[in-house]
Amino acid sequence: MQRRTTFLLGKKPRAGTIVAEVIDLLTTWDVSCEVLLPHDQHVRPDDTQDVDLVVHRGLSGADEDLLSTLDAMGTPLCNPWAGSTHLRDRAALHGALDRASVPSPRGVMHATWAEVLAEEGRRRVVVKAVAGPGRGCGVLPSPLPQEPPMDGPYLVEELIEHDGTDRKLYVAGQHVSGLLKPSTLVRSHTTEGTPFTVDAQLAELARRTLQHLDLHLAGVDVVIGPDGPVVVDVNAFPGYRGVEAAARAVAAHLLEHLGRADDPTS
């Protein structure tokens, strides 16, 4: 029987982007793919009745009810709902990484900038706005300004000394690819990256991170500190831009997920 997926997307997939390419591939593999856009149309949980898998990307807090309802109805989701809740904001991610057995920066939450500055008096820090939009916005290293440059609450992390280059790990199921990109602490955000061969240690770190966080499709930002690799950020279903054969890896994972959804023993 033909497998059925629904893609719940924040915006319409443009040609050449990961979602468009994944849908093309799945279609050629005889998987039916419907696209629904909750930001442009009213989507009810029943609209995905009987689909084998709901894939979601780029949704907002306003769509959480829809996803959690689908999860409660037993609809398989990619990424799984539990994983999405770990990425709700930087505080949730910090807590999830803290509980996972992966190296991540130690950090504390502060409500006011005065508390952040007091914390900075004890050690060099990286401050992150809890509700930051990503791409380096709302992330600031020591030395910090006296006046708050962004709204709190704040996650204050120990500053990990590194070489200024992020190892960006792009994961789809068991598949891990890597791009080197300048840290946004030293250069403004860029979509360009240099592919590099991910060694076994980094690949294992990426897989372990996703396993602990209940995620299947994610980007893991790693810096190499004095004691080795440290996970500083995790993003759900990234754009995989510049990652070779990414669409194939993502589509292959979704196909596997579809098979698993069908397996009553899983």
Ligand X SMILES: Nc1ncnc2c1ncn2[C@@H]1O[C@H](COP(=O)(O)OP(=O)(O)O)[C@@H](O)[C@H]1O
Binding site for Mg ion (CB under 5 A): 221, 233
Closest residue to Mg ion using C-beta atoms: 233
* Count of positions (residues) in the chain: 266
**Minimum CB distance to ligand X smaller for 179 or for 258:** 179
**Minimum CB distance to Mg ion smaller for 40 or for 161:** 161
CB of 221 to Mg ion, least distance (A): 4
Q: Considering CB under 6 A, how many residues would be counted as binding ligand X?
A: 21
Contacts to ligand X from residues 153-192, by CB under 6 A: 157, 159-160, 162, 166, 183-185
CB of 203 to ligand X, least distance (A): 19
**Minimum CB distance to ligand X smaller for 109 or for 261:** 109
Per-residue x/- marks for ligand X, 28-47, CB under 6 A? --------------------
CB of 180 to Mg ion, least distance (A): 14
**Minimum CB distance to ligand X smaller for 118 or for 137:** 137
Residue 60 CA to its chain's centroid (Å): 13
State both tokens at 180.
């080197």
224 binds, among Mg ion, ligand X, none (CB under 5 to 8 A by kind): none
Cα distances (Å, whole numbers) of residue 131 to 5, 13, 203: 31, 26, 29
Tell me the C-alpha distance between 189 and 135, whole Å. Answer: 6
Tell me the C-alpha distance between 4 and 6, whole Å. Answer: 7
Tell me the C-alpha distance between 6 and 8, whole Å. Answer: 6
Cα distances (Å, whole numbers) of residue 153 to 23, 90, 91: 39, 10, 9
CB of 166 to ligand X, least distance (A): 4
235 beta partners = 219
21 binds, among Mg ion, ligand X, none (CB under 5 to 8 A by kind): none
Contacts to ligand X from residues 125-154, by CB under 6 A: 126, 128, 132, 134-137, 139
**Minimum CB distance to ligand X smaller for 185 or for 261:** 185
**Minimum CB distance to ligand X smaller for 44 or for 124:** 124
CB of 71 to Mg ion, least distance (A): 26
- 238 neighbors 111 (Cβ within 8 angstroms): no
If one asks whether residue 228 binds ligand X (CB under 6 A), the answer comes out as no
**Minimum CB distance to ligand X smaller for 53 or for 129:** 129
Which spans of this chain sit near ligand X (rule: CB under 6 A)?
105, 126, 128, 132, 134-137, 139, 157, 159-160, 162, 166, 183-185, 221, 223, 232-233
